[in-house]
Amino acid sequence: MMLTLHQASNMAHRNRVINLYKSLVHLGHDYPLGWDYFRPRLKAAFMKNKDVKDPEKIEQLIARGNFVVKEIETLYMLKKYRTLKKRYYSSENDLTISEFTKKIESDL
């Protein structure tokens, strides 16, 4: 059975959308507001666009989804950075540049 170019394109889009959904589901488990907040919104976003047939529109939606994945990953990295910073630097030791220079000048 031979697939037409249109059918092959639809299957490629379908696979990309499924992979995007799986990535977002995986990222959603650690979402700061919780899985119960994230899941219904994720499902609603995908269900809202389930009837889109235009390949260009599908590409735009996939690109937007990939952008959201990167934003969530960045959010997690920032959260990790802040946690590590709190662990190793106390707020007492956080000096502004001007405070630091004043301290050095007073020690001289």
Predicted confidence (pLDDT) at residue 93 exceeds the cutoff of 60: no
For the entire predicted model, the pTM comes to 0.72
Tell me what pLDDT residue 88 has: 80
Answer with the residue of higher pLDDT: 88 or 44.
44
Tell me what pLDDT residue 84 has: 84
Burial, 65: exposed, middle or buried (Cβ in 10 Å; 0-12, 13-18, 19+)? buried
Q: How far is CA 9 from CA 82, 90, 95, in A?
A: 43, 54, 57
Structure confidence by residue, pLDDT tens digits, 44-55: 999 999 999 999
- Percent with pLDDT over 70 in the chain: 79
